[in-house]
Chains A and B, each alone.
Chain A
Amino acid sequence: DVKVTQSSRYLVKRTGEKVFLECVQDMDHENMFWYRQDPGLGLRLIYFSYDVKMKEKGDIPEGYSVSREKKERFSLILESASTNQTSMYLCASSFSAANEKLFFGSGTQLSVL
């Protein structure tokens, strides 16, 4: 089975801090995605990557950046955390395109105080 691992299940940070969320997949998938999940808003795409060192903006990229230095690892960076970034963050991967099955990580619940 594909394993998508997110480094933290719960994270509490202060306003203005730089936050790193890490995601690692073990099945040599080309594509990786970062979503945030908020009640009533579903899953919203922040950034995605189709290849190493490649990134594309999703629907809500403001306030976030990403890094993909290795194929298996996709990091989400909050340059200066704000309270409106308190949310559940979900990483996902797929083999060759977004129109295939996504494998999700277990999520990181981030609270920004």
Chain B
Amino acid sequence: GENVEQHPSTLSVQEGDSAVIKCTYSDSASNYFPWYKQELGKRPQLIIDIRSNVGEKKDQRIAVTLNKTAKHFSLHITETQPEDSAVYFCAGYSGSARQLTFGSGTQLTVLP
């Protein structure tokens, strides 16, 4: 089945700086890669996703890039703010297994 690895497990940045979280996947047939944000004590929520026919997608301060050849994708957050502090999960969808596999999560802390 699909295996998704996520790095780093923790990340601290100064407010206003950029943050980058990276994920790799194993199943070359995977075609959908969402990112979920989970604030403390709350449920995970989708913040951005990308499909395999696209190399990059942006939504305001958030962007995701996908490199299918290398089988990795990344989340970029620019101009970080304290409210960006949360756990971020990447995931990959394997069509053969029909399931979404999550990475282990990154605790992002934005320091004021």
Contact = CB atoms under 8 A, between A and B. Distances in A.
Interface of A: 33, 35, 40-45, 48, 50, 56, 58-59, 90, 97-99, 101-102, 104-107
Contact of B9 (A33, A40, A45): A40
B1 A101 contact: no
A104 B101 CA distance: 15
Interface of B: 1, 6, 9, 31-32, 34, 36, 42-46, 49, 89, 91, 93, 95, 98-105
Contact of B43 (A33, A59, A97, A106): A106
- Chain A binding site: helix, strand, loop or mixed by DSSP? loop
A90 B44 contact: yes
In the A-B complex, list the 7 residue pairs whose CB atoms are closest, starting with the nearest. Answer: A99-B32, A104-B43, A43-B102, A42-B104, A99-B93, A42-B102, A98-B100
B1 A59 contact: yes
Contacts of A59: 1, 99, 101
A41 B100 contact: no
Given A59-B1, A102-B46, A106-B43, A45 B100 contact: yes
A99 B43 CA distance: 19
Given A42-B104, A45-B99, A104-B43, 6 more contacts: A42-B103, A44-B102, A90-B43, A98-B99, A98-B100, A101-B46
27 contacts: A33-B100, A40-B9, A40-B104, A40-B105, A41-B104, A42-B103, A42-B104, A43-B44, A43-B89, A43-B102, A44-B102, A45-B101, A56-B98, A58-B99, A59-B101, A90-B43, A90-B44, A98-B99, A98-B100, A99-B31, A99-B95, A102-B34, A102-B36, A102-B46, A102-B100, A104-B44, A106-B43
